[in-house]
Amino acid sequence: MQLGKKIIEAHNEALLAGHRRKYDFIAAGIPDVKAVLKKLIDFQVGIPSWALGTGGTRFGRFSGGGEPRNLEEKMADIGLLHALNRSSGAISLHIPWDIPSDPTAIKALAAQYGLGFDAMNSNTFQDQPGQAQSYKFGSLQHVRKEVRKQAIDHNIEVIRHGVELGSKSLTIWLADGSCFPGQLNFRKAFTNTLESLQEIYAALPDDWKVFVEYKAFEPNFYSTTVGDWGQSYLFASKLGPKAYTLVDLGHHHPNANIEQIVSLLLMEGKLGGFHFNDSKYGDDDLTVGSIKPYQLFLIFNELVEGMDARKMDHTRDLGWMIDASHNVKDPLEDLLQSVEAIMISYAQALLVDRKKLSAAQEANDTVAAQEVLQDTFRTDLRALVAEARLQAGGALDPLGLYRSEKVREKLIKERGAKTVATGL
């Protein structure tokens, strides 16, 4: 199902007067509000093809119904999100969960929904039916050459699928590591991984990037071969200028200073992309901004400052994606909440008084520096984000409209109550 323009317009009409009151109040205090709105309108967040179904844990999965049964239906779901918020204009595919059987038709469908193709993701963390070699003891790091070769070939195949669709990047997340002391020779695991990555790198088209995603733990619990930003940075530096580090917010030890990590990676020109989610304990994959919204803002603050320092384009020069799982919520509602949280944090970061902050830093005025950041963080910018959405043709209240239009009920009618989407 799709939401027509007329439905969105009628919804906006009913909310317009209330919105105007709030927006005019906030806009009056923003010096160049037009420029800020343009940045908000341009900013797009990639939606992963594996986040449109209900996620689960190893203890169970409780389907919500109406889940997309194939890639076409996943794209229809993202098309719905994008129609509602105009900020979800890209899809990120995980192979082999979502192999496009007819790339030309899939491209045409994407164009119909106004979607682009974000990074392609390879999967060497699961064995697929009929696969010759097992990844039980790793993939690109494996002690046996045949296993490494199979994993390298898979990544090259993923690049090929991406080229057909018009994607420009490959994200490699490896589950490789070890569960017990002594299981691995760390240096050999690193060297094998590097050599494997070098073969994949050699297959990248000229205008492509490869993102090396790190994760501190899970599924391996003693060591992870790309375990932190230092290891990822080492791989990316040794690989060359098309290789970057990818930061997934849930992939750190508790209380890691992620804002400092992104600042330094940006300084070195080695930050490639982001996976947004939120967490309280580990890689919880919770709704963005649901647990630590201040941390999200602090990260965006460094991103905006660092990108501006390098004269980077906020929208195009980094890959922005949600990587979350929805165990108890409707996945589409969760994604709407996540995109909203990202847009609010981005808007707040755009409004930080940089001159004041820099002056406070130069004067060692800790109190003033904190005031600058918290003043922005505590300003309610929801009406500003809503105005950007309105100007882009989206809904003033995407979640409200999703519910009043009974989208999930309609999807269940269309697809059935017991459908299961591919993914984790």
Interaction site with ligand PSV (CB under 6 A): 50, 121, 173, 213, 215, 248, 275, 283, 323, 424
Nearer to ligand PSV, 178 or 224 (CB): 224
Dist CA 215 CA 298 (whole Å): 21
Q: Which does 15 bind (CB under 5 to 8 A by kind): Mn ion, ligand PSV, none?
A: none
Considering only 118, 248, 283, 387, the residue that binds Mn ion (CB under 5 A) is 248
275 forms part of the interface with Mn ion (CB under 5 A): yes
Structure tokens at 12: 């906006």
**Residue 54 and residue 82 in contact, taking contact as beta carbons nearer than 8 Å:** no
Q: Which does 387 bind (CB under 5 to 8 A by kind): ligand PSV, Mn ion, none?
A: none
Nearer to ligand PSV, 88 or 376 (CB): 88
Nearer to ligand PSV, 173 or 402 (CB): 173
- CA angle, residues 120, 126, 132, in degrees to nearest 5: 105
94 forms part of the interface with Mn ion (CB under 5 A): no
CB of 121 to ligand PSV, least distance (A): 5
Q: Name the segment binding Mn ion (CB under 5 A); options: 119-127, 144-152, 242-250, 346-354.
A: 242-250
Q: Which residue has the tokens 């697929």?
A: 128
Dist CA 236 CA 224 (whole Å): 16
DSSP element (H, E) containing 209: strand 209-213
- Residues 295-324 binding Mn ion (CB under 5 A) are 323
Query: Which has the closest alpha carbon to 301: 347, 253, 358, 255?
Result: 347
Burial level of 142, CB count in 10 A (0-12/13-18/19+)?
A: buried
**Residue 162 and residue 210 in contact, taking contact as beta carbons nearer than 8 Å:** no
Nearer to Mn ion, 12 or 155 (CB): 155
Q: Name the segment binding Mn ion (CB under 5 A); options: 67-75, 174-182, 232-240, 268-276.
A: 268-276
* Number of helical (H) and strand (E) elements in the chain, helices listed first: 15, 13
Q: Which does 259 bind (CB under 5 to 8 A by kind): Mn ion, ligand PSV, none?
A: none
Structure tokens at 123: 């999967």
CB of 38 to ligand PSV, least distance (A): 30
Query: Which has the closest alpha carbon to 117: 134, 95, 84, 146?
Result: 95
Q: Give the residue closest to ligand PSV by C-beta.
A: 173
Rule CB under 5 A: which residues touch Mn ion? 248, 275, 323
